[in-house]
Amino acid sequence: MAVSRRSGRRRFPIILLLLTAVTLLTLDGRGFGPLDSVRSGVMTVFAPVGDLAANVFEPVGSRWDAAFNSDAIQAENEELRRRVDELEGQMTSGEVAQQSLRQALAQLDIPFVADYQTVTGKVVSGGVGNFDTTIDIDKGSSAAIAKGMPAVTGRGLIGRVDQVSDGRTRIQLITDRTMKVGFQVVGTSVLGIAEGTGEAGQLTGVIDLKEQVAVGQTVVTSGTEGSPFPADIPIGTVIDIRRDEAAGTQRLTIAMADDLSDLTFASVVLYTPAPTS
């Protein structure tokens, strides 16, 4: 019973305050001026109660907004993602265009074949991975291209013409295992034969055991009599040397001058070797 009486005492002031508030609001609604100062006091008393109610119901309001506005938020997020993807696509397209332009410009003036006319075509198939051994360009016999002619980029030798039609040329890349090219080590009289390894970007060269060659030296076409390639076209750089005492040779690993897996343009050198006597 004591507990009940204490609970009744606590409820009585709250009920009194609520009744007072209702009375004041009623009088205020009827324009009872002297209540301004009283209203201020009542608001001060009830401020903690209002703050408590706000704190209690704020999460509910947030969840309500989230529940009813989630579709709009999701749609907005999707639109933002779409715009970001679009901008990234534009940036990628711009980078691709710049790369294509750089490769095209590199084909306009190739100093190592200055004595020969070249025909430049766009790569239309092949050359997009490590296992391609041929590429096709969109120029052919109508542009005076013939089978066996050398194919180059602005950086160096990439292969030889294998098949030709009126408006298309297939180029066999020098990384093909069946391809061989005579080379000379720049700054020396060292000659050798390089052949494809089947791997993009590398060739294997063989020279005599007694020759002196160092890693980092540049290798170019030798242009010896009867070679399908004119002299001094860059092939690549020596990156490894292994001696074979039993065979009396040295095996060179040659890193090619250009990346054959990412070609946009290629040029055919209109060169036909002089017939051997």
Q: Which overall architecture, per CATH, does domain 119-269 show?
A: Beta Barrel (2.40)
Q: Are 236 and 257 in contact (CB under 8 A)?
A: yes
- DSSP string for residues in 94-117: HHHHHHHHHHHHHHH--GGGTTS-
Ramachandran bin of 57, using left for φ above 0, alpha for ψ from -120 to 50, beta for the remaining angles: alpha
User: pLDDT tens digit string along 213-271?
Assistant: 999 999 999 998 878 999 999 999 999 999 999 999 999 999 999 888 778 889 999 99
pLDDT at 188: 95
pLDDT at 88: 63
Distance CA 94, CA 73 (A): 32
DSSP reduced 3-state for 191: strand
Q: Are 162 and 171 in contact (CB under 8 A)?
A: yes
User: pLDDT tens digit string along 72-125?
Assistant: 777 777 777 777 766 666 555 555 555 555 655 556 668 898 889 999 999 998
* Whether residue 58 has pLDDT greater than 90: no
| Least confident segment among 10-24, 48-62, 92-106, 195-209 | 48-62
Work out the average pLDDT over 167-190: 94
Domain ranges of the chain: 1-108, 119-269
CB within 8 Å of 219: residues ≥ 6 apart: 183, 184, 185, 186, 194, 205, 234, 235, 236, 237, 238, 252, 254
Report which residue type is found at 108: L
> How much is the mean pLDDT over the chain?
77
Q: Are 174 and 158 in contact (CB under 8 A)?
A: yes
| 3-class SS string, 111-160 | HHHCCCCEEEEEEEEECCCCCCCEEEECCCHHHCCCCCCEEECCCCEEEE
Helical packing angle, 2-29 and 35-108, nearest 10°:
80
* Whether residue 55 has pLDDT greater than 90: no
